[in-house]
Structure 1
Amino acid sequence: MFASFTRSRRRFADCHDLSRRLSKGIGLACALVLAGPAVTARAEEPALSPAQTVSVPVDDAQIEAALGKLDALTQDVLERSGVPGLAVAVVWKGKTVFAQGYGVLAVGDPASVDAETVFQIASLSKSLAATVVAGKVGEGIIRWDDPVVDHLPGFRLQNEAVSEMLTLGDLFAHRSGLPDHAGDDLEDIGFDRAQVLERLRLLPLGSFRDSYAYTNFGLTAAGEAVARASRSDWASLSDDVLYQPLGMSSTSSRFSDYMDRDNRALPHVRESGTFESLYQRQPDAQSPAGGVSSSVNDMAKWMALVLGEGAFDGKQLIGKDALLQATTAQMISSPQHALDARPGFYGFGFNVGVEPTGRVTLSHSGAFALGAATGFLMVPSLDLGIVVLTNAEPFGVPEGLARSFMDVVEYGALTRDWLAGYEQLLAPLMKPVGTMAGKPAPVDPKAAGALADYAGSYENAYFGPAKIVSGNDGLVLEIGPKGQTFDLTHWDGDTFVFEPRLENAPAGSRSLVRFERQNAEDAKSVWIEYFDEHGFGTFERP
């Protein structure tokens, strides 16, 4: 993120640390959360201590009982959260044992969500992408430890030695040294995949292979390399390796396919306390990391494949050993925050956790601030998994519902109100960003110069050119390959502000724009707070 934007933005697809802090070690994968039912454990049935590791047997009858309560749990979450629509599926012993939709495709439209409704699944795409790559590893086309440059020769990071050593696995495990969510700011203003990947070489690097930083475009670079090695494009490769063999007929890595579906859930954001469908996220640039659309029926087939160690309906579709590497802890994604807490781990595109019962979990969450929140949670030792897809901005519904279900599975009752807990922890992620957010305008501001003093073209190595255009109503910032525009409002002297509403800028965000002038001459440069996360916020006159 940027200066003050930096700590608030772009955490929507990955919240390992928040979920760990909420559960104090209870395994729940990262994502956006809203949780469970209003029902709580009875006083005579106290919740287990989060740090306590115990052997809690779970038999078929207990899982069947939890399945019998899932509809009520879901109805409760739907009512309490107010999300327009969601769909849930559970797979157990290789079979889909629950698949149901709730609510509507869009506010104001009576069309109902069902198990075939297609949602944008955001960062759940990473786990599917890892499965695709595992398929090619199993075929011997590539290896997880292949250097990326072997298949994508032009890909470079700021450090040449790191560029040469960087592997596909490094990027899928988010241990490349790239800064958190590197490149997302470029996508926000219209840069395509190739343009973003080319500019990653300009970003400062952290420590290679011993620091974790979640990057959509790092993982996308790895996906692109695998597609090149397979002599395909990413979307077609995903079709050929995963979607078609599994019969995932409603799933695609192409945005155009999502838009062509009749049974499509529209994204929603909260405006003044109510949900509205105002924006549409177009994630093709980061398709391997966040561009998949799917239904819970299709996602249940994929979960059965993963729980089956790459086998589905008696056929080995993905190499067992290759998939095991993806679902094995590769990096500590969130260190212990307390003496009795468990760390969080990341594999290749999967979160890997450990329950207080000692059971291993696989999970991931996904979200678009412009209107999607998704999550899955699998317990391989129980051969059980749940996926929840919603059409609303993130605030914990998928994770909370999944966690509530698994509580009932493992303990027979809820150990806490997951919805309330996750909503409280995730609320800061949707707060407005920027130092001027929520501040009143100066009462007696200094006058600006003539608008013509600021108008003109400015250059930037990372973001490319920006134009300041002087019109009848004031100044307009024009930036990005598609000429995205933002109206500038005078603030004080040579300082202006604008209010971005983008994937990484929640409603109410406000960015400073400061022009540098000398002796009342034309501006020589402009600093834009929103684009200064990595020090590239200054644009110079050529």
Structure 2
Amino acid sequence: MLRFLPPAAALAAAFFAASAVAGATLPGPAQAFVERAVDEAVARYDLPGIAVGVIEDGKVAAVVARGELAAGSGEPVTPEALFKIASNSKAMTAAVLARLVDQGRLRWDDPVVKHLPQFRMHDPWVTANMQVRDLLVHNSGLGLGAGDLMLWPEPNDFTRADIIAGLAHLEPVTSFRSGYAYDNLLYVVAGEVAAAAGGKPYAQLVREEVFAPLGMDGCRVGSWNAGEAGPIARPHRRVDGRNLPAPPERGVVPDITSMAAGGIRCSLEDMLRWVGAWLDPAQPWLSAEQRQQAWTGHMPMPVGRRMREWDNSHFHAYGYGWRLSDMDGHWKVAHTGTLSGMYSSVILLPDLRTGIVILINGEAEDARTVLGQVLAKRYTRPDPALDVAHYAALLEREHALRRQAEPAPDTRARRPATRREAAALLGIWRDPWFGEVALCPRADGIGFASVRSPRMRGRLMRVGERWLLDWDDDGIDAEAWLHPPEAGGGTLRLSKVDPEADFSYDYQDLRFVRERDCP
């Protein structure tokens, strides 16, 4: 069995030292299989960089690193390179809480207000009855991604205290505990519960309760110095068929509000230690009781058509920071992460003592899906026909059918709105959780500008009889319709133009009320 206490010096010496350059190989069929699948995915999706590792029967069996930290830099991706793991951070936040439960510092059924008296939801009954466990399983009644505009796009000036205060203004779309809707804000609250119960800042708890005991020395949380972190993979966005890297990070990288929901960075080396610790039930880092709690289906999730057709799945549920399902008759524990040009995936097949880690520094949703399927199928349903080309073709067909059923509106006939026709919209508007925005004249027409989220700035356009916000920042890929207040009063609203846009652009939760004239 894999052991990670003390930190895995033997593993690091015997394996990672030998694979510290991109393309290093391990002997055995798993390595050859993973290399072939990764190379096919890189070629098909033109990925800037990728790091993939597989644990097979409790042992590291494959590591593949391809591409560059930043496209055109000449700096190769290595197993030591830091990637944003995004929502795979959620399982680490849950693990911190589980360690505190083991230590008797909190209980899963503690009311959240016991640890955070200032916590409020929209409904007072929900406020009083929400337990620590509820923060982790997406059952709050809030809509998909509610309030995420307080987290992204970064940077902005929303704090964790702002998020806790803002929750009271987010209206639920279902009753409490009645259904699943993915949520980020309550994981931020969970991090603050951990800090209150543990008596230390969240970032310090993650280092002490997760990184240190598991030997995950390369991971970074909270604020950290880029010059001391080794190689750092830079996120990329796709523009005109090219991968454009984000600017390099230098000096002190600041703490971000979303840390507990999706802000941790780790290398492939570290993530294999993380996976190895979960695959070894004898590893003493976490009690058997808390392992079972983490991997118990606390909230049912829909079994989608793709799961039924691709994996013959029969159940789907959310544990504490993990998604649980069956795949070709095998138990599967997994999660994905998506954040600003970085994609991650962790797939565990516990009964086979097998785990898969995928880290990509580009816009790669399809590549992540396809590669995860190909690698997992090697263990659940071996078939040479189930390769990258097979799953890529299935996805392309799926996308085509969805676009046909719900096409994105054609907005090419847009033109700048004039001051005269937008006169009734001009002014300073306020949403109770997002804060002030200005709809005011600027040199090129009418501008929309958020006070607290500086990247949320754009120009008001006309598309026929509709109003559209064309963002100045090309990195914001979710344009918004603007809906004027109804005659006689009401609120100014926004909604997505593209129905497939990222759910974290939760424009539908905004309710702007006019406060005053433009300066």
> Is this a same-fold pair by TM over 0.5?
yes
**Matched residue, 1:213:** 181
Cα displacement string for residues 164-222 of structure 1 (whole angstroms, at most 9, x for unaligned residues): 11112112111121221121022236223221221111112222122111101112212
**Matched residue, 1:308:** 280
Letter in 2 for 1:253: V
Letter in 1 for 2:471: P
Letter in 1 for 2:138: H
Residue 413 of structure 1 pairs with residue 413 of structure 2: no
**Matched residue, 1:481:** 452
**Cα distance in 2 for residues equivalent to 1:366 and 1:435:** 25
Q: How far off is 1:253 after superposition? A: 2.1
Q: How far off is 1:471 after superposition? A: 2.9
RMSD: 3.5
Letter in 1 for 2:315: P
**Matched residue, 2:167:** 200
Q: Judge conservation of contact 1:188–1:503 (CA < 8 Å) in 2.
A: no
Unaligned runs of 5+ in 2: 1-26, 497-504
Match 1:393 to one of 355, 363, 367 = 363
**Matched residue, 2:92:** 128
**Which protein has greater RCO, CA pairs closer than 8 Å, 6+ apart?**
1
Letter in 1 for 2:377: D
Q: How far off is 1:515 after superposition? A: 5.3
Q: How far off is 1:428 after superposition? A: 9.8
3-state SS of the aligned residue for 1:284?
coil
**Matched residue, 1:497:** 468
3-state SS of the aligned residue for 2:272?
helix
Q: How far off is 1:470 after superposition? A: 2.6
Cα displacement string for residues 479-533 of structure 1 (whole angstroms, at most 9, x for unaligned residues): 1325555232442799653223779952xx43234556999xxx99754446874
**Matched residue, 1:112:** 76
**Matched residue, 1:150:** 114
Listed as ranges, the matches of 1:141-540 within 5 Å are: 141-188=105-152, 190=156, 191-205=158-172, 206-254=174-222, 256-257=224-225, 261-278=229-246, 284-309=256-281, 311=283, 316-335=284-303, 337=305, 342-356=314-328, 358-368=329-339, 370-414=340-384, 416=386, 417-422=390-395, 425=398, 438-441=411-414, 448-449=419-420, 455-481=426-452, 483-484=454-455, 486-491=457-462, 496-500=467-471, 505-506=476-477, 509-513=478-482, 526-529=492-495, 533-534=507-508, 536-540=510-514
**Cα distance in 1 for residues equivalent to 2:464 and 2:37:** 55
**Matched residue, 1:11:** none
Cα displacement string for residues 248-285 of structure 1 (whole angstroms, at most 9, x for unaligned residues): 11112236456863401111111122221247999822
**Cα distance in 2 for residues equivalent to 1:374 and 1:275:** 17
Q: How has the CA–CA distance of structure 1 residues 280 and 365 changed in structure 2, closer, same or farther, with 3 Å as cutoff?
A: farther
Cα displacement string for residues 209-241 of structure 1 (whole angstroms, at most 9, x for unaligned residues): 221111011122122112211011111110000
**Cα distance in 2 for residues equivalent to 1:260 and 1:474:** 46
Q: How has the CA–CA distance of structure 1 residues 201 and 74 changed in structure 2, closer, same or farther, with 3 Å as cutoff?
A: same
Q: How has the CA–CA distance of structure 1 residues 67 and 161 changed in structure 2, closer, same or farther, with 3 Å as cutoff?
A: same
**Cα distance in 1 for residues equivalent to 2:393 and 2:210:** 36
**Matched residue, 2:515:** 541
**Cα distance in 1 for residues equivalent to 2:506 and 2:111:** 31
Listed as ranges, the matches of 1:52-91 within 5 Å are: 65-91=29-55
- Between stretches 107-116 and 195-204, larger displacement belongs to 195-204
Cα displacement string for residues 413-451 of structure 1 (whole angstroms, at most 9, x for unaligned residues): 2453223334555689999x9986634137xx9964188
3-state SS of the aligned residue for 2:126?
helix
Q: Judge conservation of contact 1:468–1:478 (CA < 8 Å) in 2.
A: yes
User: How many residues were matched structurally?
Assistant: 466
**Matched residue, 1:37:** none
Q: How far off is 1:363 after superposition? A: 0.5
**Matched residue, 1:58:** none
**Cα distance in 2 for residues equivalent to 1:458 and 1:426:** 37
Residue 92 of structure 1 pairs with residue 61 of structure 2: no
Q: Judge conservation of contact 1:253–1:292 (CA < 8 Å) in 2.
A: yes
Normalising by structure 1, what TM-score? 0.77
Letter in 1 for 2:97: V
**Cα distance in 2 for residues equivalent to 1:504 and 1:160:** 38
**Cα distance in 1 for residues equivalent to 2:343 and 2:402:** 13
Q: Judge conservation of contact 2:461–2:468 (CA < 8 Å) in 1.
A: yes
Q: How far off is 1:341 after superposition? A: 5.3
**Cα distance in 2 for residues equivalent to 1:70 and 1:109:** 25
**Cα distance in 1 for residues equivalent to 2:280 and 2:400:** 36
Normalising by structure 2, what TM-score? 0.80
Q: How has the CA–CA distance of structure 1 residues 175 and 92 changed in structure 2, closer, same or farther, with 3 Å as cutoff?
A: same
Q: How far off is 1:465 after superposition? A: 1.7
**Matched residue, 2:499:** none
Cα displacement string for residues 307-343 of structure 1 (whole angstroms, at most 9, x for unaligned residues): 11371xxxx1122211211112111111465797523
Q: How has the CA–CA distance of structure 1 residues 479 and 242 changed in structure 2, closer, same or farther, with 3 Å as cutoff?
A: same
- Between stretches 379-388 and 337-346, larger displacement belongs to 337-346
**Cα distance in 1 for residues equivalent to 2:425 and 2:93:** 46
Q: How has the CA–CA distance of structure 1 residues 330 and 426 changed in structure 2, closer, same or farther, with 3 Å as cutoff?
A: farther
Q: Judge conservation of contact 1:495–1:515 (CA < 8 Å) in 2.
A: no
**Cα distance in 1 for residues equivalent to 2:506 and 2:279:** 43
3-state SS of the aligned residue for 2:281?
coil
**Cα distance in 1 for residues equivalent to 2:342 and 2:403:** 13
**Matched residue, 2:22:** none
Q: How has the CA–CA distance of structure 1 residues 168 and 414 changed in structure 2, closer, same or farther, with 3 Å as cutoff?
A: farther
Q: How far off is 1:378 after superposition? A: 0.8
3-state SS of the aligned residue for 2:151?
helix
**Cα distance in 2 for residues equivalent to 1:131 and 1:423:** 36
Cα displacement string for residues 98-144 of structure 1 (whole angstroms, at most 9, x for unaligned residues): 22311111111110001101100111111222222221122221222
- Between stretches 531-540 and 227-236, larger displacement belongs to 531-540
